[in-house]
Chains A and B, each alone.
Chain A
């Protein structure tokens, strides 16, 4: 199996030019498990491992490939939520179950090695031991396929959720703050993108005018799009459509951040199948071509990132993505940025200037017609806010829109290119997809 530690797959600089594999790599399949609120800790057919296998099987079936054809597996092993302290924390000390659930792997965390063994993927030659999050994994897969490290690569993103209030345990229950936490926790900031983005969001409201609740039309529309996403949590759990009254009367988490500004942690898995464009054309579905992938990782200046830093970072991400894809803002038909907290999405929208939205314009844009039926079908997948915290609806919706299979969410405008991401302003990655290779 190929050693990955030295493999330089990232595209995280400006000046790299158009991606050398533009249009030569494609997404040929995807699959989603059911999206549960939590794992009940007893049902072996609903573990994160079982759901990941199911997602892989669906992705392979969608593309029309067999397990023997899979020669690449990229799986993120650190995505757990629940009362544990962090994304890489374990469930709890306890007796494990019979194989294959005789360790944490497969129960609440999943990695490539466990999947390869359970799915008997005998021909895998590319399976990095430490995969980043989905925002970067799709770039990793695209580059690996383009470079020839593998030809048919599964990308799996499990997101676990266990019993208990979200991250109320672990280090958040400790009396002492160690490491980087010594600079934030004594004052109450336990870390996370809620804190990271709420202060710049407040600055944004002051700088450009507007109030926090101007986010309401966006959040409500995310829920609307989610209810039109058959596999998502909201659609499969009869979650009622969020109303303006629901939103403006919801409780605060980090005032002004409200409950409905935050995504809902879920237990689910999704898989995508990346392959060469040539192979994809022989597979079952119309290929969705990768036109570029890009990553970014910025270090904040001090304790709290501020609006000027966030705008600088997101401007950089937009420039490098447009450079590598050879496209400009006016070329992007579908735009699915990240929305794990609603307070960060405007930064991306304005940086990428989708539909001409410039700095300070987002709230007015949200108040316009952003429905999928309308002229500005923003975030047509419904994101995390509309589907639960899978961090994958941005990718799946983009694929479906380009295939023309988004059902009730299918946009009425042109759908030939799609830009999607799981990213924070400081780190993550973007993916540009196309209906055509060039």
Chain B
């Protein structure tokens, strides 16, 4: 079964539009230069609203932790169990993290600390998501 498909809303549309163009755009605050993900209405660092924009990041990161989902609750993912769920921190701001199933990495064999790079995976007609793969 395929992954669950994200449903963009007004706030998240610029992010998903970027993903659908295979670009990783994060909210960035011009006032304090903080990245923010997931997107918010205001800057969580300085509270600014009008200074929030979008900035492309390189899409490099590291695996900080992982689990293996063996008995999850999502209908669409039942056939995939067991599967990896890793947390990836962004090199440009390790305070930013993303989930990843680490496609290509065998279940239970996740190299914690390894470098990863973003790629984009189609989960529905015209809808990509950002995924990550180990680079070394």
Chain A contacts to B: CB under 8 angstroms: 165-168, 172-180, 182-190, 198-199, 202-203, 206, 251-257, 299, 301-304, 306
Q: B101: which A residues are within 8 A, CB to CB? A: 187-188
The one of B5, B65, B72 in contact with A186, judged by C-beta atoms closer than 8 angstroms, is B5
Q: B64: which A residues are within 8 A, CB to CB? A: 199, 203, 306
Q: How far is the CA of A331 from the CA of B96 in the complex (A)?
A: 39
Q: How far is the CA of A251 from the CA of B81 in the complex (A)?
A: 13
CB distance from B58 to the nearest CB of A (A): 17
Q: How far is the CA of A178 from the CA of B72 in the complex (A)?
A: 18
Q: B44: which A residues are within 8 A, CB to CB? A: 299, 301
A-B interface, 9 closest residue pairs, ranked by CB to CB distance from nearest: A187-B99, A182-B6, A255-B68, A183-B38, A176-B7, A252-B70, A173-B75, A178-B7, A172-B73
Across the interface, do A202 and B67 meet the contact criterion of CB distance under 8 Å? yes
The one of B9, B77, B87, B98 in contact with A199, judged by C-beta atoms closer than 8 angstroms, is B87
CB distance from B91 to the nearest CB of A (A): 14
Within 8 A of A (CB), among B48-65: 64-65
Name A259's closest neighbour in chain B (CB-CB).
B71
Across the interface, do A301 and B95 meet the contact criterion of CB distance under 8 Å? yes
The one of B9, B38, B70, B75 in contact with A254, judged by C-beta atoms closer than 8 angstroms, is B70
Q: How far is the CA of A254 from the CA of B112 in the complex (A)?
A: 17
Q: B73: which A residues are within 8 A, CB to CB? A: 165-168, 172, 190
Across the interface, do B68 and A182 meet the contact criterion of CB distance under 8 Å? no
Across the interface, do A177 and B5 meet the contact criterion of CB distance under 8 Å? yes
Name B45's closest neighbour in chain A (CB-CB).
A301
Known: A165-B73, A189-B99. 19 other contacts (CB 8 A): A172-B74, A173-B75, A177-B6, A182-B38, A183-B37, A185-B74, A186-B6, A187-B99, A188-B72, A188-B85, A206-B65, A254-B71, A255-B68, A301-B95, A302-B38, A302-B95, A303-B98, A304-B99, A306-B65
Across the interface, do A177 and B38 meet the contact criterion of CB distance under 8 Å? no
Q: How far is the CA of A237 from the CA of B99 in the complex (A)?
A: 40
Q: A187: which B residues are within 8 A, CB to CB? A: 3, 85, 99-101, 129
The one of A174, A184, A254 in contact with B68, judged by C-beta atoms closer than 8 angstroms, is A254
Give per-residue flags for B122-136: 1 if the beta carbon is below 8 A from chain A beta carbons, else 0. 011000010000000
Across the interface, do A257 and B96 meet the contact criterion of CB distance under 8 Å? no
Within 8 A of A (CB), among B19-62: 37-38, 44
Most buried by A among B44, B65, B124: B65
Give per-residue flags for B74-107: 1 if the beta carbon is below 8 A from chain A beta carbons, else 0. 1111001011010100000001111111000000
Name B99's closest neighbour in chain A (CB-CB).
A187
Q: How far is the CA of A358 from the CA of B71 in the complex (A)?
A: 33
The one of A175, A252, A302, A303 in contact with B76, judged by C-beta atoms closer than 8 angstroms, is A175
Name B95's closest neighbour in chain A (CB-CB).
A301
Name B93's closest neighbour in chain A (CB-CB).
A302
Q: B3: which A residues are within 8 A, CB to CB? A: 186-188
Across the interface, do B83 and A255 meet the contact criterion of CB distance under 8 Å? no
Across the interface, do B12 and A182 meet the contact criterion of CB distance under 8 Å? yes
Across the interface, do A168 and B75 meet the contact criterion of CB distance under 8 Å? yes
The one of B83, B108, B124 in contact with A188, judged by C-beta atoms closer than 8 angstroms, is B83
Q: How far is the CA of A177 from the CA of B123 in the complex (A)?
A: 12
The verdict on A186 contacting B129 (CB below 8 Å), with A302-B96, A303-B97, A304-B97 known, is yes
Most buried by A among B9, B77, B82, B124: B77
Q: A303: which B residues are within 8 A, CB to CB? A: 37-38, 87, 97-99
The one of A179, A188, A202, A252 in contact with B77, judged by C-beta atoms closer than 8 angstroms, is A188
Q: B97: which A residues are within 8 A, CB to CB? A: 302-304, 306
Q: How far is the CA of A244 from the CA of B106 in the complex (A)?
A: 30
CB distance from A80 to the nearest CB of B (A): 15
Q: B4: which A residues are within 8 A, CB to CB? A: 174-177, 185-186
Across the interface, do B70 and A253 meet the contact criterion of CB distance under 8 Å? yes
Most buried by A among B9, B64, B101: B64
Q: A190: which B residues are within 8 A, CB to CB? A: 72-74
What are 15 of the A-B contact pairs (CB < 8 Å)?
A172-B73, A175-B124, A176-B5, A179-B9, A182-B6, A183-B37, A183-B99, A187-B85, A188-B3, A188-B80, A190-B72, A252-B68, A254-B71, A303-B87, A306-B64
CB distance from B68 to the nearest CB of A (A): 4
Q: A165: which B residues are within 8 A, CB to CB? A: 73
